[in-house]
Structure 1
Amino acid sequence: MDPIDMAVKVLSRDGLVVYPTETVYGLGADALSEDAVMRVYEAKNRPVSKPISVAVSDMDMLAAIAVVDEAARAFIERFLPGPVTVILPAKSCLPDILTGGTGLIGIRWPANEVAIAIIERLDAPITATSANISDDIPPVRPEEVSVPNDYVVDGGELPGTPSTVVDLTTRRILRKGVEWEAVQAFLETLQP
């Protein structure tokens, strides 16, 4: 069985998969399964009050789980897929636990063929949190993964610079990462 199919098989049974992105290794679970999402919190030793981002494979999947206005769509068309996490109002199809009670969801659309293939074959968003214990250094190689998981998809060594996190509801950068200067410049062009 190829690694993508194996990852999808694990995910479809509420398992946890470590997968490569264009930044660091992520810990993936079926984002539509509350049980699977709880396993991510437990594996990372992460407080449930802290939201967990999700990864999507295309604009249709993104729009199915979040409210996307014109400004957000313009931003997404400019920067995604890529190393940017966008924060948008979550739709009710997502488990509340993912939003940490904020009603907002962080979304990654990774520019990584392996990550996209896994999400497309599962046909559902997966969690997009780094594959490390909370507050530890995110892994850039499979052997650095410190969280319990059911399967690792080896994508070799990754760059390690985290994604830029931008709240599109307030048009503010919450974490400066890859391409943050370009993100800031674009945000300034959007009408309030």
Structure 2
Amino acid sequence: MPAAPIVEIDPLHPQPRVVERAVSVLSSGGLLAYPTDTYYGIGCDLFDKRAIERIYQLKGIPKTQELSFVCQDLAEISRYAIVDNAAYRVLRRKVPGPYTFILPATRLVPDLVLRRQKTVGIRIPDSPIALEIVRRLGHPLISTSAATPGGDVLIDAKDIKEELGHGLDLILDGGYKPNEPSSVIDLSGPEPVVLRAGKGDVSDLVV
């Protein structure tokens, strides 16, 4: 399979025709590399089981390793996760932003992306590109870092093409992305628990 084409996209004002091209790749079972507010992500349609399996294969990771997904807003999060008042207060303060939230899943979430405790990892990145793709797709987009099977995170579209292009269908080039992961906050229990401090400020959550 030839390496995926790279298409430039404006990170602040994504061109509608480029977004449409990305959505058509996703709707037909394809894999997309796209910029977020942290790493570049590799994504597919949340409801496409075969495409999700392709991501595991491409990254060389076991299916026990969880994948997160991107929602467009809080209303969409509440369709895929159970959000109590305490969790809602945290979400309202932190999104959109460089955070991944662990929340109890609703029945809409496919088994393949469920975590062991029936939770899910959900993001609303501060990224017009990712949010516009999800909005046009009409439902969430899988989000996992663009990394090699050896675990090296790729921060430039050309590197992504070189290392992973054989398994992707389209690469959106939104410029160079510094190597910063999201902060991971577990909201599935009575108190927020910071599982990983990354780009997003968590100083107000550390008890």
State the identity as a percent: 34
What stretches of structure 2 of length at least 5 have no aligned partner? 1-15
Q: Which amino acid aligns with 2:38?
A: T
**Alpha-carbon distance in 1 for matches of 2:171, 2:177:** 14
**Alpha-carbon distance in 1 for matches of 2:81, 2:54:** 23
Give runs of aligned pairs for residues 1-192 of structure 1, distance below 5 A. Answer: 2-134=17-149, 136-145=151-160, 146-147=163-164, 148-170=167-189, 171-180=192-201, 183-186=202-205, 188=207
**Alpha-carbon distance in 2 for matches of 1:56, 1:134:** 26
The C-alpha deviation readout for 1:121-157, integer Å capped at 9, x for no partner, is 0011011101123452222210121332100111011
The secondary structure found in structure 2 opposite 1:37 is helix
What stretches of structure 1 of length at least 5 have no aligned partner? none
The answer to whether the 8 Å contact 1:48/1:100 transfers is no
**Alpha-carbon distance in 2 for matches of 1:41, 1:3:** 26
After TM superposition, which residue ranges in structure 1, 4 or more long, deviate above 3 angstroms?
Answer: none
The answer to whether the 8 Å contact 1:22/1:159 transfers is no
**Alpha-carbon distance in 2 for matches of 1:75, 1:69:** 10
**Alpha-carbon distance in 2 for matches of 1:66, 1:142:** 32
The secondary structure found in structure 2 opposite 1:186 is coil
**Alpha-carbon distance in 1 for matches of 2:115, 2:62:** 9
CA RMSD in angstroms comes to 1.6
**Alpha-carbon distance in 1 for matches of 2:52, 2:142:** 7
The answer to whether the 8 Å contact 2:193/2:205 transfers is no
Q: Which amino acid aligns with 1:121?
A: R
The C-alpha deviation readout for 1:39-83, integer Å capped at 9, x for no partner, is 211111110011100011111111111111111110000011100
**Alpha-carbon distance in 1 for matches of 2:35, 2:21:** 15
Question: What is the number of equivalent residue pairs in this alignment?
Answer: 186
The TM-score, its normalising length taken from structure 1, stands at 0.91
The TM-score, its normalising length taken from structure 2, stands at 0.84
The answer to whether the 8 Å contact 1:7/1:17 transfers is yes
